[in-house]
Structure formats: C-alpha cells, structure tokens
Structure 1
Amino acid sequence: MITGKVTDRREAVIDLEIVDQNQRKVRVEAAIDTGFNGYLTLPKATVTSLELQPAGNRIATLGDGNTVILEVYLAVVIWNDQEREVLALQAEGGALVGMSLLYGNRVTITVLDGGEITIEPIQ
C-alpha cells in the first residue's frame, strides 16, 4: 500500500520511490493529478539527477488547452512493492502521478488538511 497526505494547499501528495541509474531508490514527492492521463511527470532537475534514459518526445495538451512538446524518459518506480517501468514526461512544476500509474488501484483520500491518502491494488 502507498500512503500520503493532503497538504494545506489542497494537494494530494505521496512519496514515490524512483530507481536511479545506480539502482538507488530515491524518494520524490509527487502530487496526484486525476486530470493527467499519463503515468508521471518530473521536473528537469529530477530527471537530470536520476540520470533517466531518454525515450523521445511526445505532444501533450496542458490543462489550459495549450499544446507543447515534452521530452519523455524511461523511469522505474516502486509501486505497491514492485518495480514498474513507466514513461515520465519532463515538465515544469512538481512531480505528478497520473491516471495511467493509478490504474488498477483503489485511491482513498480524506480531503482535509493532513488527511490520509491510501493507494492499494484492486484484487
């Protein structure tokens, strides 16, 4: 099970473990974004420090309707105690977990400051 907290800025945030090129697990704080249908976005500094492998570019439509080209990287995340390879888009702002990574899981959020978040596989 993955857990997190609701921040005082009303963001549902979890600590996500990402495996870097040296096989070290690095914790990254990521907000849950149900409006994002991809797996994961990471800021450039995080992509650089993890030394993620490039996987091309992708056209993306942002929440404000603008279309941009984003660099794509292969990332290995620890998800429900399993290594999972996903595509991470390099984007401005903080890390985001999207619906593709959440798919197949039950997400429970107590929407209060400090409220608990649980993510667990649907059996």
Structure 2
Amino acid sequence: MRAWRGVVEWTAGQRERFVWRDGRLEPLRVEARPAPVNYGCLPGTLNPADGAEVDAVWLGEPLAVGTVREGAPAALLHLHDGDHKVIFSVGPVQGAALQGLLAWFPPERGATVQDAHAAQAWLDELAAARPG
C-alpha cells in the first residue's frame, strides 16, 4: 500500500486551527469545540467534493501543528457528501478517538468507517482523475 505525506493543521484537544496554504501553515480561526483527533491534509492532493486538499486525521496522542507524517492509510471516514477523511493510526482503528471522530459529524452526513483498502482506492481514484 502506498504511503502518503500529511501535515497536521489542528491538534487533538485544541481549539486553535490552522490551514495549509501554498506550502505553509496559516492561522485559520479558533473553533468553538476542540478537535476530537489530530486533523490536517495531504498536500498535493485534491478532493473535488470541496475543492481543497484531501483531509486527513491521525488517531492517537496529540501531534503539534505542523507535524509532518508519512504512512499508509489505516481507514477511510466515508461521508455522504464526498468530503471523506483519510484515517491514519499506529494501531487498530477503534476506541475513544474513533468514536469521538464519528460523533463529531452530524448524523445527516452519514459518517461510516471503511477499511484501508477503501481509503487507498479512493486516493488512487482521485490521483488518476487529476490533470497533469
């Protein structure tokens, strides 16, 4: 399975959120609720559902904003609107962090977890559709 490089934009348990733009992090806003997981993106990818880089989440201990991680996807958080999130994890994709992530999304978004193969297939599909 292919490894992907991601950058953390929002640290688990924190309210201060950043955004990756033009190869650097910029402050975005202070959220009403803290992040349930480490949240970020996969630079150089494009999710047509929102026109932004593919969202990524890292389960586990808080990671500082700007942390760069490389690895194979562990799962895919599938949403009805197509704005899926690629899940990375050191161990099994389960437990309180995963439940917190699922609870973060309102029921109408239809958040479900699919396996690592579904995540890789979705990323491969996006890469193949991207021009250039």
TM-score by length of 1: 0.28
Higher helix share: 2
Higher strand share: 1
- Tell me which of the two structures has the higher relative contact order, counting C-alpha pairs closer than 8 angstroms and 6 or more residues apart: 1
TM-score by length of 2: 0.26
